[in-house]
Amino acid sequence: MSDKVILEIRAGAGGDEAAIFAGDLVRMYQRFSETQGWKFSVLDSSQTTLDGYKNFIAQIKGEGVYNMLKHESGVHRVQRIPKTEKSGRVHTSTASVAIMPVVEPQEVELNLGDVEISFFRSSGPGGQNVNKVETAVRMVHKPTGIVVSSQAGRSQQSNREVALEILRSKLYENQIEEQGAEMGELRRSQIGSGDRSEKIRTYNFPQDRITDHRIGKKWHNLEKILGGDMSPIVKAFKKAEQEKKSS
């Protein structure tokens, strides 16, 4: 399968704490990518205070990346006392994760006549030039209503190419979804609305435990896993897949 994926993380229910948790997930995938020798490139993000993100999009490139990360798609739930909480109460917040394979242009039908392209000034880092010139790109795919943007690159052209790549991945996923295939079903059923009830995994800080609700597995050393050591989770899914095949 694809050796390049688009990672998309969005803060869900829970306000500031959901954005902080989205930031924790970003760092987990980034550090795990480093341990695997994968290339992790930020494509677009909307940062909040306290190292949080409302949304974050990156491309991860490397051997076996899709097979190792495809089970991350869905709603992740965290239970902990937020940094912003004065009275020490445990809060529940969510963030949604999508892992989409990057597809070749010929694999998906995209008519540029259906795409409305606009340019704006980047709000991200990148020095003086980036903020004076309208280098950031926003695309709206009129038939589906899909909106993508890219502002990490230094030129309009590089951001345009990145936005097209994200758009193709989303359209491909839509295509799969319409065919009722497994990946699309996964996205539809698991990402849902980012509501607390639609969760695939819970990160419970008071009990130092991560639970994956799909395969019924639990892991301790929560901070270590969030710090990028995702191999126990990846191995458990690999084992579950092998058991499913042989049954």
**Lowest-pLDDT choice from 10-24, 152-166, 205-219:** 152-166
**What pLDDT does residue 131 have?**
53
* pLDDT tens, residue by residue, 57-116: 999 999 999 999 999 999 999 999 987 778 889 999 999 999 988 877 777 888 889 999
The reply to whether 166 and 68 lie within a common domain is no
Say whether both 90 and 189 belong to one domain. yes
pLDDT tens per residue, range 116-128: 999 888 765 444 4
pLDDT band at 11 (very low <50, low <70, confident <90, very high): very high
Residue 123 pLDDT: 67
User: Which H, E and C letters describe 64-98, residue by residue?
Assistant: CHHHHHHHHCEEEEEEECCCCCCCCCCEEEEEEEE
Residue 26 has pLDDT above 90, yes or no: yes
**What total of structural domains would you count in the chain?**
2
What CATH number has the domain bearing residue 61? 3.30.70.1660
Last residue of a domain, one of 170, 205, 222: 170
Tokens at 51, concatenated: 């190292």
- Whether residues 139 and 195 share a domain: the answer is no
pLDDT at 161: 87
**Do 145 and 192 reside in the same domain of the chain?**
no
Q: Are residues 39 and 152 in the same domain?
A: no
Do 155 and 196 fall within a single domain? no
Q: 22 is in which domain, residue-wise?
A: 4-103+179-246
Q: 81 and 184 in one domain?
A: yes
96 plus 184 within the same structural domain: yes
Tokens of 238: 């690999």
User: Does residue 239 sit in the same domain as residue 191?
Assistant: yes
Is residue 234 predicted with pLDDT exceeding 50?
yes
| pLDDT (0 to 100) of residue 127 | 43
Average pLDDT over every residue of 19-26: 96
Tell me: do 98 and 214 sit in the same domain: yes
The more confidently predicted of residues 49 and 34 is 34
**Chain centroid offset of residue 63 CA:** 18
207 and 133 share one domain: no
Paired strand residues for 118: 138
* Nearest alpha-carbon partner for 7 in 95, 98, 118: 98
Alpha carbon separation from 139 to 119, 174, 240, 247 (Å, rounded): 9, 16, 39, 45
Maximum mean pLDDT: which of 23-32, 48-57, 181-190: 23-32
N- to C-terminal Cα separation, the chain:
23
